[in-house]
Structure 1
């Protein structure tokens, strides 16, 4: 048995590993897209995930209609997220994608205000302003420019924020294990990507690259399935139960930095000083929005 201190250290290391894995995923996806188009890649990635997690579908037999609708709805939103995110990665720098997707953290309070009627706090408003300033510096190096890929990543960030709030509303009474929900979501993303390709973009539906001669592509797919999906979800669930929200936020907030660093080292992307400053502001805003600030809350409560 591990001591509580060692368990805390293990959970921190696992969260840091998740941040590294998710950060590097943008560069890995961009590399995989050199071999296979977006919709085909999503079909393979999430189809494989669905097959691996298929034993976790057994609890669906006892699930009611409301729970099933909630799982399917969250899967549909996830499909939208990955369509925007993956096409966005194709059209912009992996470093931009890593930083911009983290805007979902500060967009969530605004979406929550619209859907769940919870007014954002002053700290959350400050985080929104800080993150928007960072996005302005990052996407145009201080100029008013936004390419199509950046816009798609921003839309994916907004959809992530919407997914958090919708899932909280429709899955509030769900009794399904998280792994079962992940399996359903993976199936929806795989089936949805294949359907969109067949009906709307047949050129995206190409012959699957053979294993012989395309080892790099299948290595990318294996990394996305095993590390970025299966390991990351397990590690996050394991660590959150054993760590404080502040520690979780600080460790996960490093994901965009790892993404940008990996894009520089793996893809050779060049990031200007202005863009690094913008990315740093986005990371800082994410930490500001998610960390609990007891002293500030006490002062705010005393003024109320």
Structure 2
């Protein structure tokens, strides 16, 4: 399932870039959110015993809906102004940024080599943004960089807000999608008539973005955070940049310069190095703070 999530997310950048050729970004986002919300509401209605939403689900879902919407705004505008391969690689910075924002990561401590892995990723971003040479970065690349920071904050926030609360992934995701639909309906209203003029291919991409890249991926992400940690949930993105590059080059016909190719290699290396360090550190037992007690005599044991 996790590998499928990575493949779906990796392919979402080319799908979003293609759809934004024929529709305004805000209309794409509203359609994606609205279709996703309808699908989730149908799933909630089908589960008769769990139709009601708890207060925690309403409150947490509404807040996370705002942060998730911010991520998708930055991502969609970003991918519209850069390559799908670049977008998928730069957003993978989330893997190394999330542990820095997640207070529960590694008991609050990260080794110095983790920061070295982060430095490799930042160098990779510089190379990816350079394009055909060292010049002013493209607006799309900068937006994807901002999206990576906000996305890491969102994942960390999911972990903090859902820990110890009665929050079910399906209900939480539904509230997030409803909140996002409400946020985008007014800004996108002027372009909504264009939805009636779309052909089957564009509708297919919108449905793919909604049902697979939103409903399935959001549910899987929320479930992973609740059952582990925000840092571990970021590992869902582990192979996402690889698939983003594969789809962008294989299906989108995109090309890499030698400099950008080096950046891609460094990004994948840095993110995998960082996630392996975080996993090993989080699995390490916490240090003993007090010395063990020594029994006074065998008879008292």
Give the structure-1-normalised TM-score. 0.79
Distance 1:267 1:228 in 2: 18
Unaligned runs of 5+ in 2: 289-301
- 1:233-265 Cα distance to aligned partner (Å, 9 max, x none): 56668899999xxx9988842211111121112
Shift, 1:275, TM fit? 1.1
Cross-structure match for 2:183: 192
| Equivalent residue for 2:172, pick from 167, 181, 186 | 181
Q: Call closer, same or farther: CA 1:217–1:69 in 2, change over 3 Å.
A: same
Q: Is 2:79 aligned against 1:89?
A: yes
Q: Is 2:216 aligned against 1:226?
A: no
Q: Is 2:139 aligned against 1:148?
A: yes
Cross-structure match for 1:103: 93
| Equivalent residue for 1:70, pick from 60, 63, 87 | 60
Contact 1:95–1:263, Cα closer than 8 Å, also in 2 = yes
Shift, 1:61, TM fit? 3.7
Cross-structure match for 1:208: 194
Q: Call closer, same or farther: CA 1:84–1:114 in 2, change over 3 Å.
A: farther
Q: Is 2:23 aligned against 1:36?
A: yes
Q: Is 2:143 aligned against 1:158?
A: no
Shift, 1:281, TM fit? 1.6
- 1:124-164 Cα distance to aligned partner (Å, 9 max, x none): 21221110011111110462531111111111110111112
Cross-structure match for 1:23: 10
Contact 1:15–1:248, Cα closer than 8 Å, also in 2 = no
Distance 2:186 2:106 in 1: 32
Contact 1:71–1:171, Cα closer than 8 Å, also in 2 = no
Shift, 1:293, TM fit? 2.8
Distance 2:100 2:66 in 1: 21
Give the structure-2-normalised TM-score. 0.80
Number of aligned residues: 279
Larger radius of gyration: 2
Shift, 1:81, TM fit? 0.3
Contact 2:29–2:184, Cα closer than 8 Å, also in 1 = yes
RMSD (CA atoms): 3.5
